[in-house]
């Protein structure tokens, strides 16, 4: 299967590390011009340095704000591919999640993606081609007791994705969400340590975490970011022209259901 994204411009939010960085690398490897986004110019330039060969555009901005979204549009007024990857997460007892925390998770994980979709979808529709994706999570379907505010935000992305797919119906633009399972990133390493302690070697800590906190996983290991990126690159391509309005799982079999 050969994926060619030459001539396409992509924006990947929150792409200075982890899954976002892997997605940026994957899209660039398929020939796309990729906007790399982070909150600071320093973090974006560092990420572009790590990415190496490829056609990258620095897009420093906090896309969780209206001002940040406007700054992105100044650098990339049009995009053929929009990957809404930006997200925050963290464990917190359910009854201790404040109103401010609830709002923050919604604004960063959901509203930022909605705002950028609202900005880029009309142009895609006018040109008759486009790809919009939302990086969701197994937590969208299996709400974790230790971070229900995060789960709520990812569940909302599934609804947002399906709704905008209807808005784009018949236009040549596809809209999908990707349900990522427990993935090996720096942030998740910190989270694993938070859940199982700091005294174990990483391999043992990862195994203990999966056994005790994610026993449903059929993969029985953390997913690598590149494995998520592979799905995103496919969905970004002309080969996925008949896939829209979907929630596609790269969850290692974590969600115990045939459908999301």
Cα separation, 6 vs 199, in Å, equals 47
Is the distance from CB of 161 to CB of 150 less than 8 angstroms?
no
Q: Which of 105, 120, 150, 254 is catalytic?
A: 150
- Asked if 228 and 23 touch (Cβ cutoff 8 Å), the reply is yes
Which single residue is written with the structure tokens 């909302």?
156
How far is the C-alpha of 55 from the C-alpha of 134, rounded, in Å?
A: 23
What is d(CA 149, CA 59) in angstroms, rounded to the nearest whole number?
A: 28
Residue 103: CB atoms within 10 A of its CB come to 12
* Sheet of 33-38, strands arranged across: 55-60, 33-38, 9-12, 81-84, 130-137, 173-180, 247-250
Burial class of residue 242, CB neighbours in 10 A (0-12, 13-18, 19+): exposed
User: Is 120 an active-site residue?
Assistant: no
Characterize 124-135 residue by residue with b for buried, 16 or more Cβ atoms within 10 angstroms of its Cβ, and e for exposed.
Answer: bbeeebbbbbbb
**Which active-site residues does the annotation give?**
150
């Amino acid at each position: 299967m050969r994926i060619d994204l030459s001539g396409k411009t992509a924006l990947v939010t929150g792409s200075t590390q982890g899954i976002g960085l892997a997605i940026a690398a994957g899209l660039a490897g398929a020939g796309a011009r990729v906007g790399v986004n982070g909150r600071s110019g320093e973090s974006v330039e560092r990420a572009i340095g790590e990415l190496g060969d490829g056609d990258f555009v620095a897009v420093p901005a906090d896309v969780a704000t209206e001002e940040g979204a406007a700054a992105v549009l100044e650098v990339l007024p049009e995009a053929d591919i929009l990957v809404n990857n930006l997200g925050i997460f963290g464990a917190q007892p359910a009854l201790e999640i404040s109103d401010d925390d609830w709002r923050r998770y919604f604004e960063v994980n959901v509203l930022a993606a909605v705002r950028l979709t609202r900005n880029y979808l009309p142009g895609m529709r006018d040109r008759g081609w486009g790809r919009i994706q939302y990086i969701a999570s197994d937590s969208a379907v299996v709400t974790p007791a230790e971070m229900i505010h995060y789960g709520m935000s990812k569940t909302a992305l599934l609804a947002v994705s399906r709704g905008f797919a209807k808005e784009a119906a018949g236009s040549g633009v596809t809209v999908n969400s990707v349900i990522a399972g427990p993935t090996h990133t720096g942030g998740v390493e910190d989270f694993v340590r938070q859940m199982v302690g700091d005294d174990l070697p990483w391999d043992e800590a990862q195994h203990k975490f999966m056994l005790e906190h994610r026993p449903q996983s059929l993969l029985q290991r953390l997913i690598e970011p590149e494995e998520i990126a592979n799905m995103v690159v496919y969905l970004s391509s002309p080969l996925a022209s008949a896939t829209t309005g979907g929630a596609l799982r790269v969850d290692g079999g974590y969600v115990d259901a045939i459908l999301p």
